[in-house]
């Protein structure tokens, strides 16, 4: 029996779903054998939080205990704030006011603790700070950008005027653009435009890089544009990347999917608008872009600390309020909210949805669940940091299952069975009937303009010799989990390097993230150490979806004894948009056996599933299929044609969009569709 799955089932108790996530978190952490004294303190704090939640009541003693822990760990901070808000009532409000005043009376304030105290005050509508308190904090913490942001939020929420000069001063500081936009937004919220010195605003905010965003943002907020049309409206959150930056940073296939899916869904006569929101740190593109008339892409300028690994956990409630204020200001009233990740930003959207009394749809995947155990089914011994990060995601998933109105699983009935293994909640009929299995899809009839064609031809002509052999292609964001480094080693250490050239596409070459830079450096170093592969391996930065399709079609025009291969080297893929794209063009596709690819790829029928754990398994299993399986050229062609047929018949974006619309309508209750 798998220890992780057994443990999940043993902890789960359907009579105490309210406390189950923290119960599981506490019990799992307690099994770790490598904890130090500080980490054990965190465990004791989690036990205290669980005990208080089980009592379902906050008194002065409990508030003192919870507040005493604040500021020590970002994850317990989040759990503490969640607990206070869950158990908040009028009696508790008076205790929080008293506790806040006690904290402010102290000479020294821990900024991490103070941030969450202010967060609670805003959420509970407790305006307990004097003008002197606010002035002192604005001055003391002007270099703590999280604190500046929450103080601005406080001023705006409680309509606290009298701080105009302090706000002007903040604009002169070397803040990132999105924080300056927040200062400007607070000024416009608290004061009439006529009384704001626009010269200070323009001088200190607008520059050549952000002018397009600023003008778009300003025009939208000051134009009486109404998103009013018959039909339901859907808001879907992305939070990772941008439609225009696919393959860069953490921007993967989801951007390609949501761009096409949103546009296709918005064409349905029962749908008024699809709004896709993301958080942008680089204000270089318009605030709002339209894809078709009714798919609206919105880039929210929310400051996130780039130095922390989990950027959302501390800022969860701020994100919720920011999105809520934007929707209110722009008079956007989504009927259905759709979230797709187990993170605190998605959780913030879920809670906003419930506050607005709207319907919540949640795409559920067993990640990180399937990575909590080793090959033998034993619990992995993880570092405390990695463990609590993963368990926070598991906790979020359990909470979202409980509050969602509809759950989407990616794939078919086989994938649903896998979900049932990892989520014991599925045993309950009220949870099980929420679930709808829907695949992902791609645009099969995408138009290509002359400019795209010219740009592609220029690149391909400079690499003519490279395409005189069959190609192994890999497309996606650069990441350790995407396996590109393992793929390069697998190719170069196998017969594949004799028969095929290797082309890897992905990554931001101009402004790489640390992870992208590490992968790029590995490629460059590898070719320097093994110069015989210099002209047979190409790494190219991220390309547009249109350019990739042209490249794939051009590659497939050339026929060789061995087939062109698309090899997805990811440790796991929930579905694999890039795999679908390659199959639709006619590549022989190889995908990871771990994840959702097996829901549509069958060995030796329309592709091949391989173990992508490391370069040795990638090399061995790919060689076995290509060279040692006694499959001749004609059979490979039949497998490739079957792959194309699979996509054409089952995974066009049109078909998938129809399934989503039907599900959204059933969740909203406008049709009696079966869920």
Range in 218-227, 267-276, 418-427, 587-596 the model is least confident about: 218-227
Residue 151's closest CA among 163, 137, 131, 164? 137
pLDDT at 453: 55
Half-sphere exposure of 189 (CA within 13 A, CB side): 20
Q: Over 80: is that where the pLDDT of 457 sits? A: no
User: What pLDDT shows up at residue 671?
Assistant: 45
Average pLDDT over residues 61-75: 94
Average pLDDT over residues 137-144: 94
> Averaged over 593-599, what is the pLDDT?
91
pLDDT of residue 673: 45
Rounded Cα gap, residues 520 and 345, in angstroms: 29
491: enclosing H helix or E strand: helix 484-492
More confident residue, 453 or 298: 298
* Cβ 270 vs Cβ 661: under 8 Å: yes
State the helix-helix crossing angle for 198-205 and 164-172, rounded to 10 degrees.
Answer: 30
Kindly indicate the confidence band of residue 674, based on its pLDDT and cuts at 50, 70 and 90: very low
Residues with Cβ within 8 Å of residue 29, at least 6 apart in sequence: 35, 43, 46, 387, 388, 391
Q: Which of 272, 375, 384, 339 is nearest to 33 (CA)?
A: 384
Q: What is the mean pLDDT of residues 149-174?
A: 96
Token pair 């078909």 is found at 655
88-92, 203-207, 668-672: which has the minimum mean pLDDT? 668-672
Is the model more confident about 461 or about 595?
A: 595
Overall pTM surpassing 0.75 (yes/no): yes
C-alpha 373: how far from its chain's center?
23
Residue range 611-621: mean pLDDT, rounded: 97
Answer yes or no: are the C-beta atoms of 492 and 533 closer than 8 Å.
yes
Please list the residues that pair with 236 across neighbouring strands: 276, 338
**Residue whose entry in the numeric block shows the structure tokens 């936009």:** 181
Residues 581, 586, 587, 592, CA torsion sign: positive
Residue 247 pLDDT > 80: no
Question: Given this model, what pLDDT does residue 459 score?
Answer: 60
Count the Cβ atoms, other than its own, within 10 Å of residue 396: 21
Mean pLDDT for the chain overall: 91
The yes-or-no verdict on residue 675 having pLDDT over 70 is no
First to last CA, the chain: 31
Q: CB under 8 Å to 309, separation ≥6 — which residues?
A: 389
Name the pLDDT band for 456 (thresholds 50, 70, 90): low
pLDDT in tens, 501-541: 999 999 999 989 999 999 999 999 999 999 999 999 999 99
What contacts 362, CB < 8 A, 6 or more positions away?
A: 338, 339, 340, 350, 400, 401, 404, 406, 407, 408
b or e along 546-578 (b: 16 or more beta carbons within 10 Å of the residue's beta carbon)?
A: bbbbbbbeebbeeeeeebbbbbbbbbbbbbbbb
CA distance 241 to 289: 14
- Structural domains in the chain, CATH included, are 3-221 (1.25.10), 232-442+656-668 (3.40.50.2000), 450-651 (3.40.50.2000)
Distance in angstroms (rounded) separating the CA atoms of residues 114 and 108: 10
Burial class (CB in 10 A: 0-12, 13-18, 19+), 231: middle
Segment (H or E) for 239: none
- Residue 462, burial from CB neighbour count under 10 angstroms (0-12, 13-18, 19+): exposed
pLDDT at 340 over 90: yes
Tokens linked to 536 = 């047979």
Best-predicted range by mean pLDDT among 29-33, 218-222, 635-639?
635-639
> What is residue 520's predicted lDDT score, i.e. its pLDDT?
97
Who wins on pLDDT, 262 or 381? 262
Of the pLDDT bands very low, low, confident and very high (cuts 50, 70, 90), residue 35 is confident
pLDDT in tens, 15-25: 666 677 777 77
Question: Which tens digit of pLDDT belongs to each residue from 481-491?
Answer: 999 999 999 99
pLDDT given at position 40: 86
Higher pLDDT, 408 or 375: 408
**pLDDT for residue 451 is more than 60:** no
Least confident of 2-6, 29-33, 501-505: 29-33
Give the pLDDT confidence score for residue 672 in this predicted structure: 44
pLDDT of res. 14 = 62
Strands 295-300 and 288-290: antiparallel
pLDDT digits (tens, 9 = 90+) for 205-237: 999 999 999 999 988 888 877 788 889 999 999
How would you label 399-424 residue by residue, b for 16+ Cβ within 10 Å and e otherwise? bbbeebbbbbbbbbeebbebbbbbbb
Portion of the chain with pLDDT greater than 70, in percent = 95
Q: What average pLDDT does the segment 578-607 reach? A: 95
Residue 544: Cβ-neighbour burial (10 angstroms; 0-12, 13-18, 19+)? middle
């Amino acid at each position: 029996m798998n220890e992780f799955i057994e443990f999940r089932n043993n902890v789960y108790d359907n009579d105490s779903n309210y406390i189950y996530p923290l119960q599981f978190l506490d019990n799992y952490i307690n099994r770790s054998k490598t904890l130090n004294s500080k980490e054990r303190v965190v465990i004791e704090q989690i036990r205290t939080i669980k005990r208080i939640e089980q009592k379902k009541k906050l008194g002065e003693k409990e508030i003192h205990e919870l507040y005493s822990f604040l500021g020590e760990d970002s994850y317990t901070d989040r759990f503490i704030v969640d607990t206070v808000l869950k158990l908040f009532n009028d009696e508790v409000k008076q205790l929080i006011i008293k506790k806040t005043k006690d904290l402010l009376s102290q000479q020294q304030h821990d900024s991490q603790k103070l941030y969450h105290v202010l967060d609670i005050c805003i959420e509970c509508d407790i305006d307990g700070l004097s003008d002197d308190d606010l002035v002192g904090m604005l001055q003391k913490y002007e270099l703590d950008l999280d604190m500046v942001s929450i103080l601005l939020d406080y001023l705006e929420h409680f309509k606290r005027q009298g701080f105009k000069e302090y706000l002007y001063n903040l604009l002169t500081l070397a803040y990132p653009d999105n924080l300056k936009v927040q200062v400007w937004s607070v000024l416009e919220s608290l004061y009439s435009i006529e009384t704001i010195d626009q010269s200070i605003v323009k001088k200190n905010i607008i520059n050549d890089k952000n002018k397009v965003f600023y003008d778009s943002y300003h025009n939208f907020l000051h134009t009486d544009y109404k998103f009013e049309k018959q039909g339901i409206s859907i808001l879907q959150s992305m939070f990772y990347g941008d439609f225009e930056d696919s393959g860069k940073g953490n921007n993967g296939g989801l951007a390609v999917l949501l761009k096409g899916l949103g546009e296709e869904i918005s064409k349905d006569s029962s749908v008024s608008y699809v709004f896709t929101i993301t958080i942008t740190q680089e204000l270089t593109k318009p605030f709002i872009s339209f894809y078709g008339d009714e798919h609206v892409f919105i880039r929210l300028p929310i400051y996130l600390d780039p130095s922390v690994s989990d950027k959302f956990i501390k800022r969860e409630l701020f994100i919720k309020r920011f999105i809520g204020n934007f929707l209110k200001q722009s008079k956007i009233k989504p009927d259905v909210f759709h979230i797709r990740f187990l993170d605190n930003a998605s959780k913030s959207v879920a809670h906003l949805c419930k506050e607005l009394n709207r319907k919540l749809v949640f795409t559920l995947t067993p990640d990180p669940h399937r990575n909590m155990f080793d090959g033998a089914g034993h619990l992995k011994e993880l570092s405390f940091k990695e463990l609590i990060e993963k368990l926070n995601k598991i906790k979020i998933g359990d909470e979202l299952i409980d509050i969602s109105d509809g759950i989407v699983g990616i794939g078919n009935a086989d994938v649903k069975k896998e979900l049932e293994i990892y989520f014991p909640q599925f045993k309950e009929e009220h949870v099980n009937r929420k679930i709808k299995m829907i695949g992902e899809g791609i645009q099969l009839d995408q138009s290509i303009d002359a400019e795209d064609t010219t740009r592609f031809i220029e690149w391909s002509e400079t690499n003519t010799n490279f395409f005189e052999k069959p190609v192994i292609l890999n497309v996606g964001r650069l990441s350790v989990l995407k396996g590109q480094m393992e793929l390069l080693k697998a190719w170069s250490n196998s017969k594949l390097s004799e028969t095929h050239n290797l082309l890897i596409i992905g990554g931001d070459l101009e402004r790489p993230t640390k992870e992208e830079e590490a992968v790029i450096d590995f490629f460059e170093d590898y070719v320097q150490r093994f110069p015989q592969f210099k002209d047979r391996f190409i790494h190219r930065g991220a390309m547009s979806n249109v350019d990739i399709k042209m490249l794939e079609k051009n590659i497939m025009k050339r026929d060789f004894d061995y087939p062109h291969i698309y090899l997805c080297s990811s440790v796991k893929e929930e579905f694999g948009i890039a795999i679908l794209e390659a199959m639709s063009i006619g590549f022989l596709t190889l995908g990871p056996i771990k994840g959702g690819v097996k829901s549509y790829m069958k060995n030796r029928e329309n592709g091949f599933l391989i173990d992508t754990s490391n370069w040795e398994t990638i090399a061995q299993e790919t060689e076995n299929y290509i060279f040692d399986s006694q499959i001749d050229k004609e059979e490979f062609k039949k497998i490739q044609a079957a792959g194309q047929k699979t996509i054409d018949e089952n995974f066009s974006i049109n078909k998938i969009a129809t399934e989503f619309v039907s599900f959204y309508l059933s969740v909203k209750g406008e049709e009696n569709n079966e869920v």
